[in-house]
C-alpha cells in the first residue's frame, strides 16, 4: 500500500481537529484523521491518473500534428524554385520566338 506523507498526515489532522466535536475522544479524532488521509491519498491518485491521461492525449496530438506537417512539407514544391523556373521558361520562350520568327 502507498505510504502517506507526513504533510498529508498533518493536513488531515488539522482538518480533523477543525471539525472536532466538544465530547469527541482523541481516538475518534484520530480515526477521522485517518479517513481524511485516505481521501486525500485517493484524490492525489485520481489527479495523477488524470494528469497522465491528459499528457498522453497532448503527446498524441502533437505527434499527429507533426506527422501532418511533415507530409504537407514533403508534398509542396519549394516556393523559391518555382519563380526562377517560370522565369527561365519564359526567357527561353522569348529567345526561341525571336530567332525562329
pLDDT digits (tens, 9 = 90+) for 32-75: 999 999 998 899 999 999 999 999 999 988 888 777 776 666 66
Full residue range of the structural domain in which residue 44 is found: 6-100
On whether residue 40 sits in a domain, the answer given is: yes
On whether residue 94 sits in a domain, the answer given is: yes
On whether residue 1 sits in a domain, the answer given is: no
Count how many domains the chain has.
1
Distance CA 68, CA 74 (A): 10
Q: What pTM did the predictor assign?
A: 0.54
On whether residue 87 sits in a domain, the answer given is: yes
**pLDDT at residue number 39:** 92
On whether residue 57 sits in a domain, the answer given is: yes
What does the DSSP 8-state code read for residue 5? P
76: confidence class by pLDDT, cuts 50, 70, 90: low
Amino acid at each position: 500500500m502507498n505510504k502517506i506523507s507526513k504533510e498529508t498526515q498533518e493536513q488531515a489532522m488539522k482538518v480533523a481537529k477543525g471539525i472536532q466535536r466538544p465530547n469527541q475522544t482523541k481516538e475518534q479524532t484520530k480515526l477521522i484523521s485517518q479517513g481524511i488521509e485516505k481521501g486525500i491519498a485517493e484524490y492525489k491518485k485520481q489527479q495523477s491518473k488524470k494528469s497522465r491521461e491528459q499528457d498522453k492525449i497532448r503527446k498524441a496530438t502533437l505527434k499527429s500534428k507533426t506527422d501532418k506537417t511533415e507530409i504537407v512539407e514533403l508534398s509542396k514544391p519549394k516556393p523559391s524554385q518555382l519563380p526562377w523556373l517560370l522565369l527561365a521558361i519564359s526567357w527561353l520562350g522569348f529567345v526561341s520566338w525571336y530567332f525562329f520568327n
